[in-house]
A = this chain, B = another copy of it.
């Protein structure tokens, strides 16, 4: 009885990420798979105090039905936060959602018709592809380099495919760790204005910068109202609160709010109030600074261990923030096929193929360093390096030797 669409979505390569989540939780496995923030850093004291204040001082209104657009004081706080990030806006430009994932879904439902083309980075966030596919849109890969999307190459793509939307993660991209260069940001906004292209700017990691300097979002250069910015507290506070938000022109919010009502009436009032009570103390700045220091140390541990243990023919990205780096092996590497052997050796990653809509990326993998202590990172990369060296040695054996 399920729909054609449901069958098609289930038929999409069963996400390796889901299949390995179970293994990922085993204590004997060193997992670089999940893109999880380090939970030992969660600001538990601050959130506990905020929760106590909300439930004691605000009373039952904190648990009643509320506006679909979300708790106004938090929207006002986030408007100020957007100002600090370089985007001038008011609370009326902001809708709160259940994590950034819901922004992706609502924007797609409101703005994508079946058959529409979406330009994405490739690789990109794997569930974004599923969202676009759920709207029966088609994804086309933008040309990218180590500085993100090559904006000068976009006009040709736009003229060929007439895309409705461009989806980008400009900071420490998932999965590549790459950052869109400073000069490409105004250029992308200008291009969106020129072609009437909607840009969805997904920025979950931007605050987690531990090298280089903060860059303004693409939305900061959006004079034509073509850029929608999506943020989340999942990586800077904690994902269990499910607080995401979108910033766009108030008139573009109307169809999003219609779909938000349809989707879940409103997001959690209690979560939004706890988040606001915590954020307004200002103590999260210190928490984010500490998280950046920890992630920097972990990134450097992984980068150093990769230099030590990976054989020739492997290269990897040098992120300036965020949770991930992207490892590319020799052309004959198949990281999906290698995964069971990695699991035997008790180390885990996400195969690159999962981050492409078309099955490419087989010789790549995403490595997340955010949730492991440095010593464990070194241990895990040593295991992975040995596995890759074995693969390289096997590759030099005569054909038919059992590879």
Contact = CB atoms under 8 A, between A and B. Distances in A.
Count of this chain's copies in the oligomeric assembly? 2
A40 interface: yes
B47 A63 contact: yes
B42 A60 contact: yes
Contacts of A134: 109, 259, 262
A105 B105 CA distance: 12
A98 B258 contact: no
Contacts of A51: 51-52, 55
A55 B63 contact: no
A239 B234 CA distance: 22
A191 interface: no
Contacts of A2: 110-111, 255
B1 A127 contact: no
Interface stretch (A167-175, A209-217, A264-272): A264-272
Contacts of A48: 52, 55-56
Contacts of A9: 255, 258-259, 262
Nearest to A243: B268
A231 interface: no
A262 B130 contact: yes
A138 interface: no
Interface in A14-63: 34, 36-37, 39-40, 42, 44, 47-48, 51-52, 55-56, 59-63
A164 interface: yes
Contacts of A196: 1
Interface in A131-150: 131, 134
Interface in A233-282: 234, 238-242, 254-255, 258-259, 261-271, 274
A120 interface: no
A49 to B, nearest CB: 9
Given A9-B258, A60-B39, A262-B105, A267 B98 contact: yes
A87 interface: no
* Interface pairs A-B: 9 shortest CB-CB: A63-B240, A240-B269, A63-B238, A6-B255, A39-B60, A42-B60, A98-B264, A48-B55, A101-B265
